[in-house]
Structure 1
Amino acid sequence: MNDKQVNIMGIPFTNKTKYELVNILEKDLMVRKKRFVVTANPEITLYAVENPEYKKVILQSDFIIADGIGVVIASKWVKTPLKERVPGFELMMQLIQTAEKKGLSCYFLGAEKKVNIKFTEVIKEMHPDLVIAGSHDGFFDIENNEVMNSILESKADLIFVGLGMPRQEEWIASHIDKFDQGLFMGVGGSFDVVAGAVKRAPEFWIKLNLEWMYRLIRQPKRWKRILKVFEFMLRMFISSLSLKKR
């Protein structure tokens, strides 16, 4: 780990603002550097701690960003504060805008077929000049190379993978070596949000860092996932107390 990273439970988070990160990734894209971006919230962080094989997968990435206010709060508790939360959804949308501006192509992998189709339609409406190299829904065997081959043939510059955690990171890690270039990023349910299948929290909730609470109200079935967030925060709080005693 270096001074540009913050260690949370053994996970090296990239300590950059969204603006700084977009600039770095844009420069890498223009020189065709291959990049793997992981968007990690408290749930993903805890899952990595409890599942060593998954932790190995995300440690192969180039950037692990703090997509969760809980991670940012925890970083302050352990006296190594992250600059800000970088929501994966916002980073994806910013990179799509960059792709349109720079004439780069995107491939969208994930979600249900109808959601994937709707997503590409909406994105094209939002960014008329965006080059969409291809798209595919998320319902396929991860061991099947047909999807990987279609992405290879498309020569896409940015590959957004919305297969959900841990599948999306595992898919990227197992196939990225086949590619000479490309920015690969796991985006969870972001396609569903753009397609209108899932509503993102209003700006008011986002600014108050209460997006997680809005999701819980809208989707009560998420309560088990929210419990993981509280478990993460409790572990980090206890860890911060032990640091104070030293």
Structure 2
Amino acid sequence: MLTTQELQEAGRSYYRVDRFGTDRDRPDVDTATTDTAAVDDLDRDVYCVLGIPIDAIGMRGVLRRIRDAARRKTRLLISTPNLNFLVASQSDRSFRDSLILSDLCTVDGMPVVWIARLIGIPIKSRTAGADIFDALKADIGSASTLKLFLFGGPEGGAERAAHRLNSQPGGLHCVGWSNPGYCSAEEMSRDHIIEEINASGADFLVASLSSQKGQSWLQRNHQRLEIPVRAHLGAALNFQAGTVKRAPPILRRLGLEWLWRIKEEPYLWRRYWNDGTAMLRLLFTHVLPFVFWTWWMRRTHERGEALTITQDYGSRTVTLSLSGPADARHVDRAIPVFRAATASRKRVTLDFSNVCAIDARFLGLLLMLRKQLEAQGCAGTFVGVSPLMARIFRMGGLDLP
């Protein structure tokens, strides 16, 4: 958990851009101010966890992405998966798709951090929505203040949060708020509501609804909204309004924030109980088997073996034949090949007949490849997938077409 000083430093820091324009927010990298190019999905350092993308990016990288998108007026949809997101995505396909279609997915809940570490994802801590909000607010020395629009929350909460934000210096200035009341995502999407939001001229739209309704609303209005940066940050608005007190840092570090939330909002106990039992079930039926079988495949090949990809461009189909270990070590080899295949706007077939190992990082890359192909109206299929490889795909949450 970041201290106030660390939040301020994060708000003024920048991330390194490699030759593909990827944000590599690593503690051992000396960061410098750069004019970053737009980051596409194949550039993202993304992992597949139970079917949803998780970006291995720290606070500095997130803040830079937000400020770059606001400055360039390019769309940036941020999702902050916690345990509730992870559980809901297993049974609600449209909700899972809303996470896949996001431009950035940062880990909000400590249980997701624990699962990520178990799988081998290099994530040290949460990058929670409330922490992102606090870091932007604490960035007093920023060259430009982000204009904020608050949407949703309890009755009077958005207005109270706006007044509190604007009453003190910081990196955020609220230029508008709206509370549509208790209604469906469709009712919240009426023309006059969207027009009010767009007319604000804000840089950053923060929605505070239930997780599924918030994600649905943002996806439904993705093309209609003109505010470049959008995120559903849930309880962050309540914390800013002072209607709910946030847990002390020690409880957040220990992963016990849920106990504090139950104290503040007793009705949440049922959700935490259901999510906790679902997490245990997923742990034993998906996560641990995934860890075991990926380890089993990895130990069967030589360490020095490299991934090779043979490309066959036909009139309507591109066939990519992979051979060797498809894992994090060889992602940079696969990215330019996948990018060229998507640029061809043809059907892409990936032949896994000679793949001897795979991990969550490569599954994340495949998830992003499928996303880009579907956005172009193209299809991607997998052939030559062994029964063991198919089991790993299933445990990792990546459906085979």
Aligned to 2:288: 241
Shift in Å, 1:13:
0.7
Give SS of 2:114's match: helix
Aligned to 1:220: 266
The structure-2 alpha-carbon separation of the partners of 1:100 and 1:171, relative to structure 1 and needing over 3 Å to count, comes to farther
Aligned to 2:197: 151
Instruction: Give the partner amino acid of 2:48.
Output: N
Count of equivalent residues:
246
1:229 aligns with 2:276: yes
Instruction: Give the partner amino acid of 1:95.
Output: L
Give SS of 2:70's match: helix
Aligned to 2:67: 26
Which runs of no fewer than 5 residues in structure 1 stay unpaired?
Answer: none
Aligned to 1:105: 147
RMSD: 2.3
Instruction: Give the partner amino acid of 1:207.
Output: R
Give SS of 1:113's match: coil
Q: Is the 8 A contact 1:103 1:130 kept in 2?
A: yes
What CA deviation, in whole Å up to 9, does each residue of 1:59-94 have, x standing for no partner?
Answer: 211011110000010012222342421111111222
Shift in Å, 1:52:
0.6
Shift in Å, 1:97:
4.4
What CA deviation, in whole Å up to 9, does each residue of 1:25-78 have, x standing for no partner?
Answer: 222222222100011101111101210111122221101111000001001222
The structure-2 alpha-carbon separation of the partners of 1:229 and 1:126, relative to structure 1 and needing over 3 Å to count, comes to farther
The structure-2 alpha-carbon separation of the partners of 1:55 and 1:69, relative to structure 1 and needing over 3 Å to count, comes to same
- Map 1:1-150 onto structure 2 (within 5 A): 4-98=45-139, 101=142, 102-127=144-169, 130-139=172-181, 141-150=187-196
What CA deviation, in whole Å up to 9, does each residue of 1:90-116 have, x standing for no partner?
Answer: 112223445983133111111133212
* Distance in 2 (alpha carbons) for counterparts of 1:65 and 1:176: 19
Deviates more, 1:50-59 or 1:225-234: 225-234
Aligned to 2:8: none
Identical aligned residues as a percent: 18
Q: Is the 8 A contact 1:96 1:106 kept in 2?
A: no
The structure-2 alpha-carbon separation of the partners of 1:110 and 1:178, relative to structure 1 and needing over 3 Å to count, comes to same
What CA deviation, in whole Å up to 9, does each residue of 1:199-244 have, x standing for no partner?
Answer: 1111221232211122224433222211213422441244343232
Which runs of no fewer than 5 residues in structure 2 stay unpaired?
Answer: 1-40, 297-401
Q: Is the 8 A contact 2:53 2:105 kept in 1?
A: yes
Aligned to 2:238: 192
* Distance in 2 (alpha carbons) for counterparts of 1:159 and 1:128: 17
* Distance in 2 (alpha carbons) for counterparts of 1:153 and 1:74: 41
Instruction: Give the partner amino acid of 2:126.
Output: R
Q: Is the 8 A contact 1:43 1:232 kept in 2?
A: no
* Distance in 2 (alpha carbons) for counterparts of 1:231 and 1:83: 23
Q: Is the 8 A contact 1:5 1:13 kept in 2?
A: yes
Instruction: Give the partner amino acid of 2:206.
Output: F
The structure-2 alpha-carbon separation of the partners of 1:98 and 1:61, relative to structure 1 and needing over 3 Å to count, comes to farther
**TM norm structure 2:** 0.57
Shift in Å, 1:158:
0.6
**TM norm structure 1:** 0.90
